[in-house]
């Protein structure tokens, strides 16, 4: 459920001047937009009707805890993805890219359920398809418009700056606008988060939220549970000014390709960790835990302290105390297996079969490969990183 905050209920803004988007290097940005427009005309024979934009992001504090339900503190960056778009009467989606490295593709634009995404093949247009499919489903569009699209991105791919999420966000925005149903920002975020999971990565939502909800000259404090809440944070004026250096190491790591042994594995370890921690704390049969899908470390912590009287207490100190207690509890729950658990050991703790445990954490959609599951390390990281945030 979305928080009743203006930021989530607001609509995605439309700008007519680049100075409303960028604060510097306007001539460089103008040349890029002009090149995109000219390339669109050369490709399709018409001017684009509009251009959608979604920036990349860098995370300041809060690594790998959004999918645990904990807050994060990222900010959007200037590098962004752009997609020039024109609606057509054909029932086709045509996709092209400024970068010749990425081949042009097209597919039939029918209902969202008919869009197939082969996530066994690493293909840039799959990310557009994810956003398109999610948007069509979100707006319940049964007769979608055709589109001609040309993309340009200045976000380095596979560099940890959310280039894939920027494409998904652009696709969601373009599809909604072409079909006349541009939803409020909060719904766009939820659509983009759910959409990217079609590629096979079980993400938590930080990347898409940052891209859609960020404001100029501000970082953003994002809370996911119990509801989405966005707090822009302006940095204080200093002399010299605060400067963030974003360095590209040129080491490539594609999240979708390595998901079964990296990203999705971490998510599954936290999901199973939450199930075992809830049982260890004696709250596994509480409705808040039984009904949660997924059950996260944040839900477990909140339910464990749900009856605690904190009236008159400092909220920040209560938060710190709860996280410290969970760090201690996770050591008790998982400390006997410092090198990890096998599937059989985790299932036995939960009185489940390995197959039932796999189904409970949705490995049918997000398969993982591991001999040992590092539950202690994941729990300690999640609670200690949440303390930093």
Catalytic residues: 207
Helix 263-280 and helix 315-334: axis angle, to 10°? 90
User: In the block, which residue shows the tokens 């001017």?
Assistant: 47
Going along 145-256, which residue ranges are E strands? 146-153, 218-223, 229-234
* Six token digits for residue 126: 């799959």
- Do strands 92-97 and 146-153 pair parallel, antiparallel, or not at all (unpaired)? parallel
Q: Are 68 and 297 in contact (CB under 8 A)?
A: yes
Tally of residues, the chain: 389
Strand partners, 86: 148
Phi, psi angles (nearest 5°) of residue 234: -85, 140
| SS3 state of residue 159 | coil
Element (H, E) at 256: helix 255-258
Phi, psi angles (nearest 5°) of residue 336: -70, -10
Burial of 125 (0-12, 13-18, 19+ CB in 10 A): buried
Strand partners, 93: 107, 147
Buried b (16+ CB within 10 A) or exposed e, 350-371: beeeeeebbebbbbeebebeee
- Do strands 146-153 and 229-234 pair parallel, antiparallel, or not at all (unpaired)? unpaired
């Amino acid at each position: 459920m979305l928080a009743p905050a203006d930021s989530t209920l607001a609509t995605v803004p439309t700008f007519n001047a680049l100075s409303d988007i960028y604060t510097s290097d306007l001539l460089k940005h103008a040349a890029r937009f002009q090149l995109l427009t000219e390339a669109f005309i050369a490709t399709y024979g018409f001017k684009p009707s509009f251009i959608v934009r979604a920036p990349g992001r860098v995370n300041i504090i809060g690594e790998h805890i959004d999918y645990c339900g904990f807050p994060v503190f990222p900010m959007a960056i200037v590098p962004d993805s752009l997609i020039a778009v024109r609606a057509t009467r054909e029932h086709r989606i045509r996709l092209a890219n400024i970068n010749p490295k990425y081949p042009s593709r097209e597919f039939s634009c029918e209902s969202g359920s008919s869009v197939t995404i082969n996530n066994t093949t690493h293909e840039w247009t799959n990310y557009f398809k994810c956003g398109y499919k999610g948007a069509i489903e979100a707006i319940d569009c049964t007769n979608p418009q055709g589109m001609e699209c040309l993309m340009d991105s200045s976000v380095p791919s596979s560099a940890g700056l959310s280039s894939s999420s920027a494409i998904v966000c652009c696709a969601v925005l373009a599809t909604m606008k072409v079909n006349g149903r541009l939803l409020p920002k909060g719904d766009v975020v939820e659509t983009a988060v759910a959409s990217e999971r079609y590629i096979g990565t079980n993400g938590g939502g930080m990347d898409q939220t940052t891209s859609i909800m960020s404001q100029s000259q501000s970082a953003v404090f994002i809370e996911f549970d119990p509801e989405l809440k966005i707090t822009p944070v302006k940095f204080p004026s200093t002399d010299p000014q605060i400067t963030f250096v974003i360095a590209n190491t040129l080491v490539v790591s594609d999240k979708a390709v390595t998901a079964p042994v990296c990203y999705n594995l971490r998510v599954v370890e936290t999901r199973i960790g939450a199930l075992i921690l809830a049982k260890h704390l004696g709250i596994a049969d509480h409705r808040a835990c039984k009904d949660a899908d997924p059950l996260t470390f944040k839900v477990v912590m909140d339910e464990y302290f749900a009856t605690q009287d904190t009236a008159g207490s400092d909220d920040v100190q209560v938060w710190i105390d709860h996280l410290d207690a969970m760090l201690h509890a996770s050591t008790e729950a998982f400390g006997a297996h410092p090198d990890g658990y096998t599937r059989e050991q985790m299932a036995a703790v939960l009185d489940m079969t390995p197959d039932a445990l796999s189904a409970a954490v949705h490995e049918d959609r997000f398969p993982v490969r591991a001999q040992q599951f590092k539950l202690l390390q994941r729990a300690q990281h999640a609670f200690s990183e949440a303390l930093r945030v």
